[in-house]
Every structure is written in structure tokens, then in C-alpha cells.
Amino acid sequence: MMTQAFYSGISGIKTYSTSIDVVSDNLANISTVGFRGYSAEFSSLFEEQLQTTNSLASFDDTVGIGTKIQSTAMLQATGTFMQSDKSTDLAINGNGWFAIQGYDSPIYTRDGNFNFDKNRDLVNKDGLYVLGTVANNISADNILTKQQNSTPLGDVTQQQKLRFPETLTYPSEATTQASFYSNLGVEDTTRTISTTVVNAQGEKRALRLEFNKVPTQTSNGLQWNVKATIQSLDNETVYSSQNGTLSFSPEGALIANTLTDIDNDGTKIDIDLGNDYSGIVSINTPVVSGSSKTNGTIGGDLVGYEINSDAEILATFSNGMQSSIGRVGVFHFKNEQGLERISGSMFKESVNSGNPLFYKDAKGDNIIGTGIMNHRLEGSNYSLEVGLTDLIIYQRAYDANSKSISTADEMMQKALSMDA
């Protein structure tokens, strides 16, 4: 039994010394962004069966002969979220990991403290590249080739560093469609509606519609003349004009229209005045200001890059337009507990974790599969109160095992002196 006391005490000292190291590491990283705490799990080295004839005995019929650290398990709880002033700071609200381009293989982390460096690469605080999907909608001469709201995630094995140009141009798009809405009323008064259009050179022009009642009306409904002009914004120069006639039913619905389009410096603009009651009407009710809707936009220069709550990387332009140009990848594992920690909040995959994967939707498309928050950073998921409590418990357990060794040693010395 004295020998058993030595073994139990020594194994206890080793076990609780390791446990204290685990807790100490957790406490040392209590302020580390994206840190995942660990907890020590114990198991018995051996167990000795006790002989008893009472099958209803209320005590365990085994006695342990020492303990060991079975494993150190990663804590899965989400850490506390901290406010940030950067849209490039991201926090994962749920399962998932960001990937950083390591020297040999990707590094996985919950630390979303990202920024664009001088080369417009999205990097972490150590200057390592963040991995994701590039939309490939930027030409070699830094012109946006396609405006899009979202960038689908590519294959999990094809994620790359997110590099974007320092200068980027949103190309102008000529107006090809203009729709108008208004009630002309029934009074013989000139009505006008104007809207802004863009020509093929990216210049703004005014498309102006002027309505006047036809002098000689038929007995069935009303007829209005309409003149469309493309002119400068200051109304000083007229570039083109087109005339037409509108016919309305007695109830004021548009039933015929001969004005269909107008030339805008070589680009045809289709003019949509509606049908029935969907666009221009002539009803004997109070007249309200007309409205319009057009496509086309002037060109714009890059204002900056930002990341939204869907992990979309957005380019914002001086003309007020935005476009997704990439997406930060969020990776998942079949067994997150199997990830191997490199240091701090950095991990790498292992045989136990399995390969990284993307979640898929019902259509089989790759998705983020978790909540993403911008202007946020995730703090450590380890509680200071828990750590201090565990540290006290483990320290006392360490002292108790140390005392058992000294007690066993005293008993051994007494036994040896009695034998003498």
C-alpha cells in the first residue's frame, strides 16, 4: 500500500501539474482575439477490484492506482464579441474557421482581425494572406467587367489569397430604357416630365417629355401630343427630338402611343409610357408630379473596399455603385476537436480533424453556413472566473498528492526502522 501511495502521488503530481499548465495557458490568453480555451480530462491508470459479497453495496468496488491526463479538449463555446471600427474586422457567430495562407499548409483561426495592406491584399495582423474566392470580374486594366451582388464560394481546395487593385473603374453604361408615370389630367395645359440619362460616352443628359392636348379632339376619349428631347442639363442645347401622339379612353387609360424611342448620341432609348393605367394616364383628378425610372449609369472611380455581414468583399465607387469582387471563405471540419493548435489562436488540420469542407445548400452550392458579423471581433471563449476556480482546485490537488508522497515516505522510514 505504501508503494501504491508513491505511484498514486507521483501520477497525481504529474497530472495536476499538466492541468495547471493548461489553465495557466488559458488565463494567459484571456485577451487573445479568437482564442479557444482547453480543459483537462482525466482517467485512471489502473483499477484494482475489491472483493465483496454484497451485490447491493453503495460504494464503488474498485480502487484507482494513479491518474493521467486523458486529453485536453477544446472548448466549443463562442467567445464574447467586441466592437470594432473596421468593416474588415470579422467575427464568426457559430461554427467555422477563417483560413490564412501558411508557409506549408493553410492555417485556421477564429481571429478575424483583417485589413487591406498597401498592395490591397486582405491580410491578418501578422501580414499573412486571408483565403477566399475571387469573383474574377476585374479586367487586366482594372475595369469592373460585371456588377454583381454576391460572389459564390468556389471549391474548398481552390481558395486563394484575396488581392485587389489599388485603382478600379466602374464603367459607364448608356441608358437604353426610360419609363414614365404621370396623370396628365384633362385640362388644356402643358405638362412636362424630365429624367437624367447617360450617353455612350458616360455623359449625363436630360430626357424631357412635353405634353400638350391635340387642338382638335375626337369625340371618344382624349388625345395628347408629346415631344421628347435629349438636351443638356442646363437646357441650353438640344441634341435630338422625337414627336408622338397619345390616345386615351374616356376613362383616361392609355390605349395608343406613337412615341416609342429616341436617339441619344447613337444609343437608342426605348421610351415606355405604359399601357392602360400602368404609366401615363389622363384622368379628371388632381394632377401630381410625374416620375420616371431609367437604367444606365455614369462611370465611377474606386472609393474603397469593405466587407459586409455575408463575408462579401465590396468595392464602392464614386458614382454610388457597389459590386462584390470576392468572398472570404469560412471553413468547417467534421471534428473541430481534432485540430492541432500551432500557437495562440492558430490551428492546422490533422488526421483527427479531417479535411476542411464547405457547407452546401439544397442546390448543392457552397455556402458560408454560419453567421458573420463585421465591425466585430471574437474574444477568448475562456472564462476568467472558471480559470481561477480551476487553478485553486488543481493547486490544492497538487499539494494533496505531494503530501501523500511525503506521508508514504515517512511510513516507509518508520517501517524500515521497526525492521531494524
pLDDT digits (tens, 9 = 90+) for 375-417: 999 999 888 888 788 888 878 877 776 777 677 667 777 777 7
Cα distances (Å, whole numbers) of residue 248 to 57, 221, 286: 100, 5, 17
What are the start-end ranges of the E strands in 56-127? 62-64, 67-74, 81-83, 90-93, 98-100, 107-109, 114-116, 122-124
Q: Which residues contact 130 (CB under 8 A, 6 or more apart)?
A: 98, 99, 100, 101, 114, 122, 123, 124, 161, 162, 328
Instruction: Please check the confidence at residue 301 and state whether its pLDDT lies above 90.
Output: yes
User: What mean pLDDT is reported for the chain?
Assistant: 88
pLDDT band at residue 359 under the 50/70/90 scheme: very high
Q: How far is CA 139 from CA 313, 323, 325, 333, in A?
A: 17, 14, 12, 35
pLDDT value at 8 more than 80: no
Reply yes or no on whether the pLDDT at 25 is more than 80. yes
Q: Which residue has cell 400602368? A: 278
DSSP-assigned letter for residue 338: G
d(C-alpha 7, C-alpha 1), whole Å: 10
Written as nine digits, the cell of 137 is 470580374
Other Cβ atoms within 10 Å of 398 Cβ, number: 18
Asked if residues 326 and 133 have their Cβ atoms less than 8 Å apart, the reply is yes
List, for residues 234-260, the tens digit of each pLDDT value: 989 999 999 999 999 999 999 999 999
95 pLDDT above the threshold of 70: yes
Q: How confident is the model at residue 110 (pLDDT cuts 50, 70, 90)?
A: very high
pLDDT (average), residues 345-371 = 93
The model's confidence at residue 271, banded by pLDDT at 50, 70 and 90, is very high
Closest alpha carbon to 108 in 361, 373, 353: 353
Query: Tell me, what's the pLDDT at 79?
Result: 92
> pTM for the whole thing?
0.76
pLDDT at 344 (0 to 100):
85
How far is CA 407 from each of CA 7, 12, 200, 393, 410, rounded to the nearest angstrom?
Answer: 13, 14, 95, 21, 5
Spatial distance between the Cα atoms of 328 and 294, rounded to a whole number of angstroms: 34
User: Which of the four pLDDT bands, split at 50, 70 and 90, describes residue 44?
Assistant: low
Crossing angle of helices 2-28 and 384-419, rounded to 10°: 160
pLDDT at 338 over 70: yes
Secondary structure of 197-265 in HEC code, one letter for each residue: EECCCCCEEEEEEEEEECCCCCCCCEEEEEEEEEECCCCCCEEEEEEEEEEECCCCCEEEECCCEEEEC
pLDDT confidence band for 220 (50 / 70 / 90): confident
Task: At 73, list the grid cell.
Answer: 479538449
pLDDT in tens, 122-181: 999 999 999 999 999 999 999 999 999 999 999 999 999 999 999 999 999 999 999 999
Q: How do strand 312-317 and strand 322-328 relate by DSSP bridges?
A: antiparallel
Residue with cell 438640344: 238
Q: Which residues contact 278 (CB under 8 A, 6 or more apart)?
A: none
pLDDT of residue 19: 80
pLDDT at 91: 95
Mean pLDDT of 295-324: 93
DSSP assignment letter at 284? S
Alpha-carbon gap, residue 362 to 358, rounded angstroms = 13
Whether the predicted pLDDT of 4 surpasses 70: no
Distance CA 9, CA 4 (A): 8
Q: What is the pLDDT of residue 322?
A: 95
Decide yes or no: CATH 2.40.30.20 for domain 177-294.
no
Provide the percentage of residues in the chain whose pLDDT is more than 90. 66
pLDDT number for residue 23: 85
Answer whether residue 46 shows pLDDT above 60. Answer: no
**What pLDDT score does 390 carry?**
81
Arithmetic mean of pLDDT, 57-82: 72
- Domain limits of the chain? 2-52+59-76+380-419, 81-170+301-378, 177-294
